[in-house]
Structure 1
Amino acid sequence: MRLVFTPAEGDRCRVVVHRRDGVTLEMRSYDRKFRVPHDLAHAVTERELRLGAGVFGCIAAGALFTSMRVLTGSPRHDAAARSARIIKANARSITTAEALSGVLHEAANGTLSRPLFTKVREVWGIVEERTFPYDEATVTATAETLRTLADVWSGLTVGEELAFMWPPALTAPIPTTRR
């Protein structure tokens, strides 16, 4: 999946998602006031920490969130039902991705009040019962990737693009329908 982040007029960021099934989607985002868009922080966090059932892994599997619309392509006949199943089945993982990307977003924006690794572990413990699976080097590398892309983003003007690749291996599982 290919994600294209583009600064738009006002405080908007346009995200165009080119899914492997031929459907192209647009995500609406209103956070250009930050150094890096929240959706880019999500994408980096989820990819680098291998959170395949987060927001972007769910989109890759066929989920369509309310902030999205189809630009081109033909969604499946059962796209709405499939999307609902994917989101429902991965709700906890989406929450975890939201929590972790929020911390890394703060770090990229320079507004983190505590050490990054401490804060990421703390937030994990709030939303997850599982043992924290990352070491400090992985969390630090994720933050560095986001800072690098934040530098690229800050140099873009309206209409320019920052492309980001989402690996096919990080696609959320698709629950089957009950018969």
Structure 2
Amino acid sequence: MDVTFHRLAGNLYFTTAVRADGVTVMSPGYDRTSAIPHDLAHFVAEREFGMTRGFWGSVAAGALFTNMAVTSGRQKPHAAERSKRIIKAHADDIGLAEAVAGTIHDAVEQDLTPKEVMSGLRALWGVISPAPLPIGDKEIEAVTAALRREAGRWSAVPVDQGLTLNWPLRAEHVPVPPSGKARTGRRSRKARHQR
């Protein structure tokens, strides 16, 4: 999946994603005060941490969030149902991705030290899970360095141009049961009598 972050005047932006199924989706950007788009921070954090079920991984799998719109391509049958199932199945991971991306975004925007970032992540992680935080200082340094690199590329993008990044992680597809069929695999009584 290719994701393009389109720069508008000021700190405004929007994103488009061309999924593997040929469908292009658009999402508006909401954070007008940040130099780095929040969606770019999401992309980098999820990519670097291998989060296949976060926001961008869900989009790659076929999720269409309420603020998104299809701008080109033809969706497969049952796309709306599949989207709902993906969002439901990935809900916890989407929440975790939001927390991690927000923390990494703040770290780069505010030039925080890895120790300050770890403190913030530990506090968030304590709410999410009783298990130890599976991220250490080295991972934080690598992810914040990756976001700084992409932020540098973003800052060079002129208004009305875009920065395109490839989503390298495999999409986790959520199956959608065929509609209109009995659970036993046999045709319904009505269908059998309509020959």
Q: Do they superpose with TM above 0.5?
A: yes
Q: TM-score, normalised by structure 1?
A: 0.91
User: For the aligned residues, what is the CA RMSD?
Assistant: 1.9
Deviation at 1:148, TM superposition (A): 1.3
- 1:29-49 per-position Cα deviation (integer Å, ceiling 9, x unaligned): 122431200000001011101
Name the residue aligned to 1:94: 94
The one-letter code matched in structure 2 to 1:160 is: Q
Name the residue aligned to 1:125: 126
What's the secondary structure of 1:107's corresponding residue? helix
What's the secondary structure of 2:17's corresponding residue? strand
Name the residue aligned to 1:30: 30
> Which range moved further: 145-154 or 82-91?
145-154
Q: Is the 8 A contact 1:4 1:16 kept in 2?
A: yes
Deviation at 1:83, TM superposition (A): 0.2
- 1:61-99 per-position Cα deviation (integer Å, ceiling 9, x unaligned): 000011111111001110110000000111110000000
Name the residue aligned to 1:19: 19
Distance 1:48 1:22 in 2: 25
State percent identity of aligned pairs: 38
Q: 1:99-114 to 2 correspondence within 5 Å?
A: 99-110=99-110
Distance 1:49 1:93 in 2: 12
Distance 1:78 1:168 in 2: 24
- Structure number, greater radius of gyration: 2
Misfit runs of 4+, over 6 Å: none
Distance 2:61 2:118 in 1: 30
Deviation at 1:176, TM superposition (A): 4.1
Name the residue aligned to 1:54: 54
Name the residue aligned to 1:7: 7
Structure 1 unaligned regions, length at least 5 = none
Q: TM-score, normalised by structure 2?
A: 0.84
The one-letter code matched in structure 1 to 2:134 is: P
Name the residue aligned to 1:177: 177
